[in-house]
Amino acid sequence: MKQIYWENLIKNIIILILLVPSYLSIQNFIQSSGIDQTSAGSLLVAVSILAVTACFGNFAFTYEKVDHKDTGSRILAHITTGLLMLLIGISLEMTAILAVVLIGNFHVFNLSLVILYLASVLYDFWDLKRSNI
């Protein structure tokens, strides 16, 4: 059953690979749009709603209820958690970029966003480990 651990690792690597170009794309869009602070604040509220929803879904999911012997169940679980983690990552990227518009480049804030994403990844692995496969 170590295969599921490798599948999970590959899923998380794919998500990181997708997050790099998405950050650059979001950054270019926001910078070129000339967004003002009021609009950035409003957009940050919408992004926060997305992040909270994705976090709720991600933390509500558990690998304990997945039939680990069934490839289809494992793939569906990885797709579900992968999409939620991708949405968390994109939301955190948008938050970081919008924060630059609102308050400037605040490295401690950016570090806290990275730590939050890292915690989501670690939770994903921990949840898989506790499922006793």
Average pLDDT of every residue of the chain: 92
Helix (H, G, I), strand (E, B) or coil at 128: helix
Query: How many domains in the chain?
Result: 1
- Average of per-residue pLDDT across 78-104: 94
The per-residue pLDDT for 2 is 85
24-81 pLDDT, tens digit each = 999 999 989 888 888 888 999 999 999 999 999 998 998 888 888 888 999 999 999 9
15 — phi, psi (to 5°)? -60, -45
Give the closest residue to 121 by CA, choosing from 19, 36, 38. Answer: 19
Contact 68, 74 (CB under 8 A): yes
pTM for this model (two decimals) = 0.90
1 pLDDT more than 60: no
Residues of the domain holding 91: 2-130
